[in-house]
């Protein structure tokens, strides 16, 4: 079956850099999303990758390797407000959205 | 005003109750979705509506009944739920329904079934 793997939880220090990995096995690929979800709040869009390479957007960057079925979200200069869950989702060949279970990121001072 | 609004934010109900969740989007989108979010599990797509027409029903039990009276409003009617139905129910909207566009989520309705 189709599935996406992400670490369940990660801890990092304020001001540091953290990389959240996402590996996927899906029937085809039409794009990959990253969403951020603060506790008790709505998931919000962070990035969309459809071609291989790195997309940079301020402190956040997202990388994709389609041949390896792999993506990561890189967060730089971590701030306490970055404590949240990060959701990876892949669009398969039928344009269905397959979700990972999310990675809870804890930032410590 | 947020783009997607859900009410109520919290709901506690018994297994014999009937209640409804409401979602409203102010973004002019054509597609609306209901998702179920349980702790440490991937988001589960329940229903999709495109231009008020239901286009997907992912084997959801009949105790969940969706209604989409127009492109801006979406309801989820709940009846004789089970304790395992306790979860966060998220509404989302998007411009198109092929999933290549960004989803805009509401903050969710936290449902507890006793």
Q: Whose CA is closest to B84, among B20, B41, B49, B50?
A: B41
| pLDDT (0 to 100) of residue A1 | 81
Pair A16, A76: CB distance under 8 Å: no
Q: What is the DSSP letter of B9?
A: S
Q: What is the rounded average pLDDT for all residues in chain A?
A: 96
B73-86 residue pLDDT tens: 999 999 999 999 99
Separation CA B23–CA A34 (nearest Å)? 23
Closest in B2, B43, B102 to A99, CB measured: B43
Contacts of A41 in chain B (CB under 8 A): 107
A68-89 residue pLDDT tens: 999 999 999 999 999 999 999 9
Question: What pLDDT band is residue B15 in, cutting at 50, 70 and 90?
Answer: confident
Are the beta carbons of A43 and B45 separated by less than 8 Å?
no
Chain Cα centroid distance, residue A54: 13
Closest in A40, A42, A95 to B106, CB measured: A42
B35-66 residue pLDDT tens: 999 999 999 999 999 887 888 777 899 999 99
Question: What pLDDT band is residue A11 in, cutting at 50, 70 and 90?
Answer: very high
């Amino acid at each position: 079956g189709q599935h996406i793997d992400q670490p369940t939880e990660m801890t990092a220090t304020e001001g540091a850099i953290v990389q959240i990995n996402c590996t996927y096995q899906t029937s085809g690929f039409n794009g990959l999303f990253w969403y951020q979800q603060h506790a008790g709040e709505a998931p919000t869009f962070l990035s969309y990758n459809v071609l291989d390479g790195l997309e940079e957007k301020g402190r956040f960057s997202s990388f994709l390797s389609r041949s390896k079925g792999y993506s990561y979200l890189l967060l730089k200069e971590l701030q306490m407000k970055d404590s949240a869950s990060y959701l990876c989702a892949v669009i398969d060949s039928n344009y269905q959205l397959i979700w990972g279970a999310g990675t809870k990121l804890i930032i410590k001072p | 005003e947020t783009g997607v609004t859900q009410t109520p934010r919290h709901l506690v109900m018994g297994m014999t109750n009937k209640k409804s969740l409401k979602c409203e989007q102010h973004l002019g989108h054509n597609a609306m979705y209901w998702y179920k979010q349980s702790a440490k599990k991937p988001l589960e797509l329940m229903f999709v509506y495109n231009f008020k027409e239901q286009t997907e029903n992912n084997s959801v039990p009949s105790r969940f009944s969706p209604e989409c009276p127009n492109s801006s409003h979406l309801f989820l009617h709940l009846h004789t739920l089970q304790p395992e139905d306790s979860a966060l129910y998220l509404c989302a909207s998007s411009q198109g329904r092929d999933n290549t566009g960004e989803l805009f989520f509401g903050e969710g309705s936290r449902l507890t079934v006793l």
